[in-house]
C-alpha cells in the first residue's frame, strides 16, 4: 500500500509570552519528533487527551501551520515551508472537516454557495458552468442525506448534525483524495453522533478516500479507524492496528486511557458514544 501521507520527525514549538524582562520563557513543545505514514485508502485515527498535540498535528498535515522542523509529504509532495500559492495541489487533494460546524460555516452564505466555495476557489470540472456547478452541489447534498431544498437556506436554519453534513459536503466538493476530520462529532448532540460518524465512514469507503480522524473519544476511533496512534504530551507513544491496540495496549498511557474510557464517555454531554455507535442510527 503506497502512502498518501508521510510525517517524518515533525516538531512544532510555540513561543510563550515573556513573563520576565530578564529571560525568555521556554517554548511550548506541542509536537515532539512525530513520525508515521498513512496508506492510500486507509482510515487512521489519532487519539489522546486534550492538550496532547493531536489537533496541532492535524493542522500541520493540512498545511494550515508550519512545523518547526521535520517534513510532511502529501501524495508525494513535500508541503513543509511552501508558500500558500504553491499549495494549490494540496488544497484540492486534502480537505478538512472541523469540530464546530457553526464556526466553520459562513452564516451569511446560503448552503449552495458554501458547498460550491471550494469549486469556485480552486477551479473545477464544470469550467464555470453554473448549471453544472448547481448539479454538483445537489449531488453532494444528496450524498450527505440532505434534500435539494437545503441549498437555499442558511446555516442557522439547521441542527448541529445537519450543519456538520453540510461541512462534509463542502469538503467533498473538489473530489479530494484525503479527508481530515478534527473531532467531527464532539460538538454534536449525543443522539446524532453515530449518524454523522457512520456517514463519514460510508462516504470514505464509497469514494476510496484516505481518512485521518482526530478524537479524544476512544470509542469513536475504534469504530471508525483501521489503525490508531496514541498521543501523549506531543509524542506518539503507541501505534498499531486498532483492535490490537485496544485488546493488548503496550504503553501505560494507553492502558490508562482505556481504563478511563467509561467515565470519559459518561462525561460527554451525558451520554455514551460507544453505545450509540454500537446500536446504529
**Model confidence over 238-272: pLDDT tens digits?**
999 999 999 999 999 999 999 887 544 444 444 44
Q: Are strands 227-232 and 235-241 parallel, antiparallel or unpaired?
A: antiparallel
232 in a structural domain = yes
- In a domain, residue 273? The reply is no
Q: What are phi and psi of 67, to 5 degrees?
A: -70, 155
Is 272 part of a structural domain of the chain?
A: no
Give a yes or no: residue 155 inside a domain.
yes
The CATH number for 160's domain is 3.40.50.300
Give the pLDDT of residue 103.
87
Task: List pLDDT tens digits, range 99-130.
Answer: 988 889 999 999 999 999 998 876 665 556 78
What is the number of domains present in the chain?
Answer: 1
Q: Give pLDDT, residue 262.
A: 56
Check residue 155 and report its DSSP letter. Answer: G
Least confident of 26-40, 58-72, 127-141: 127-141
∠ Cα 58 64 70 (to 5°): 70
Q: Is residue 168 assigned to a domain? A: yes
Greater confidence, 45 or 274? 45
* Domain, as residue range, for 206: 3-14+27-261
Average pLDDT rounded to a whole number, residues 158-166: 96
Amino acid at each position: 500500500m503506497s502512502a498518501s501521507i508521510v510525517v517524518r520527525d515533525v516538531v512544532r514549538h510555540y513561543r510563550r509570552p515573556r513573563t520576565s524582562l530578564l529571560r525568555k520563557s521556554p517554548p511550548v513543545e506541542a509536537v515532539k519528533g512525530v513520525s508515521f505514514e498513512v496508506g492510500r485508502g486507509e482510515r487512521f485515527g489519532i487519539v489522546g487527551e486534550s492538550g496532547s498535540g493531536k489537533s496541532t498535528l492535524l493542522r500541520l498535515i493540512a498545511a494550515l501551520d508550519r512545523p518547526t522542523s521535520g517534513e510532511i509529504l502529501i501524495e508525494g509532495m513535500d508541503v513543509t515551508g511552501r508558500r500558500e500559492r504553491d499549495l494549490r495541489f494540496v488544497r484540492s487533494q486534502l480537505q478538512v472537516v472541523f469540530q464546530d460546524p457553526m464556526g466553520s460555516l459562513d452564516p451569511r452564505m446560503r448552503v449552495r454557495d458554501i458547498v460550491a466555495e471550494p469549486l469556485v476557489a480552486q477551479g473545477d470540472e464544470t469550467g464555470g458552468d453554473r448549471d453544472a456547478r448547481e448539479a454538483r452541489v445537489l449531488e453532494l447534498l444528496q450524498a450527505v442525506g440532505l434534500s435539494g431544498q437545503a441549498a437555499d437556506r442558511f446555516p442557522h436554519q439547521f441542527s448541529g448534525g445537519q450543519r456538520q453534513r453540510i461541512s462534509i459536503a463542502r469538503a467533498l466538493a473538489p473530489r479530494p483524495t484525503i479527508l481530515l476530520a478534527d473531532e467531527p462529532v464532539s460538538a454534536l448532540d449525543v443522539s446524532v453522533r453515530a449518524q454523522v460518524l457512520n456517514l463519514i465512514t460510508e462516504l470514505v469507503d464509497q469514494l476510496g478516500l484516505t481518512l485521518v480522524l482526530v478524537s479524544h473519544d476512544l470509542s469513536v476511533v475504534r469504530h471508525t479507524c483501521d489503525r490508531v496512534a496514541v498521543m501523549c504530551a506531543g509524542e506518539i507513544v503507541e501505534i498499531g492496528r486498532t483492535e490490537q491496540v485496544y485488546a493488548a495496549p503496550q504503553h501505560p498511557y494507553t492502558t490508562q486511557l482505556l481504563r478511563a474510557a467509561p467515565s470519559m464517555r459518561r462525561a460527554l454531554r451525558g451520554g455514551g458514544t460507544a453505545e450509540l455507535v454500537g446500536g446504529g442510527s
